[in-house]
Chain A
Amino acid sequence: SQTIHQWPATLVQPVGSPLSLECTVEGTSNPNLYWYRQAAGRGLQLLFYSVGIGQISSEVPQNLSASRPQDRQFILSSKKLLLSDSGFYLCAWSLKGPPLHFGNGTRLTVT
């Protein structure tokens, strides 16, 4: 069966520090991978998606970037965090169509 792992579960980082959130999927090949953010009082917003290794599509201009160095690994990064980057970050995967399967998320607080 397929599983998705996200880490860390919680993270507190100062403004201006770098960020690296990692997501891996097991039990499947060539999945579509997604990063969503859930800000307080707002719905989930798609940040990035990837349909294959090295293929990244950005949905909104922002302070973040994503990379997919391996088939089942998706990384969300920032060189310098902003206060507005705080939120709940969710990684998800699908097999070229629904349904979408989510990880347990990372709660990021930028102080």
Chain B
Amino acid sequence: KQEVTQIPAALSVPEGENLVLNCSFTDSAIYNLQWFRQDPGKGLTSLLLIQSSQREQTSGRLNASLDKSSGRSTLYIAASQPGDSATYLCAVSIAYNTDKLIFGTGTRLQVFP
């Protein structure tokens, strides 16, 4: 059974820091991995999608890497800003052509001025 773990559960950093969020999964047989952002009381916003054949994806100040064989992904946020404060969730896809995702419990990030 696929399990997804995110470390740390919470993180508080001053503005401007570069930071790394970690995601690990127990079964390497995944189709893709997605990183989402969730603001309090809101739905999820897709940030980055990494297909199983890819090693990393970048969008602006965000960079996500995937090491499928070791069951790990990291989300790197450069030059963090207070607007980055949110919960970040990773999820792995376990079925082709559908979004049957297994989610981690998230990392709650606070960036203070």
Q: How far is the CA of A105 from the CA of B101 in the complex (A)?
A: 17
A51 within 8 A of B: yes
**Cα separation A32 to B93 with both chains bound (whole Å):** 14
Chain A contact residues (Cβ within 8 angstroms of B): what range? 20 to 34
For residue B64, CB closer than 8 A to chain A, the reply is no
> Does B71 have its Cβ within 8 Å of any Cβ on chain A?
no
Given the complex of chains A and B, what is the CA–CA distance between A59 and B2 in angstroms?
Answer: 14
Asked if residues A98 and B49 are in contact (CB atoms below 8 Å), the reply is: yes
- Chain B neighbourhood of A34, CB < 8 A: 99
Give CA–CA (A15, B100) in the complex, Å: 30
* Neighbour of A43 across the interface among B4, B42, B100, CB < 8 A: B4
Q: List chain A residues, Cβ under 8 A from B91.
A: 44
Q: Is A49 interfacial (CB-CB < 8 Å)?
A: yes
Q: Is A44's CB under 8 angstroms from B103's CB?
A: yes
Whether A107 and B41, one on each chain, are in contact in the complex, defined by CB atoms closer than 8 angstroms, is yes
Contact B34 A98 (CB under 8 A): yes
Taking the closest CB of chain B, its distance from the CB of A24, in whole angstroms, is: 14
Judging by beta carbons under 8 Å apart, are A100 and B34 in contact? yes
Within 8 A of B (CB), among A2-58: 6, 32, 34, 41-46, 49, 51
Name the A residues within 8 Å of B32 (CB-CB): 98
Q: Are B45 and A59 in contact (CB under 8 A)?
A: no
Q: Which residues of A contact B104 (CB under 8 A)?
A: 43
With CB as the reference atom, state the residue of chain B lying closest to A32.
B98
B residues less than 8 Å from A100 (CB atoms): 34, 44, 46, 99, 101
Q: How far does the alpha carbon of A43 sit from the alpha carbon of B42 in the complex, in Å?
A: 14
Judging by beta carbons under 8 Å apart, are A49 and B98 in contact? yes
B residues 36-90 near A (Cβ < 8 Å) are: 36, 41-46, 49, 89
Known contacts A46-B100, A101-B46; can you find 16 more A-B pairs with CB under 8 A? A32-B99, A43-B103, A90-B43, A92-B44, A92-B99, A96-B97, A97-B98, A97-B99, A98-B32, A99-B34, A99-B49, A100-B101, A102-B45, A103-B43, A105-B41, A105-B42
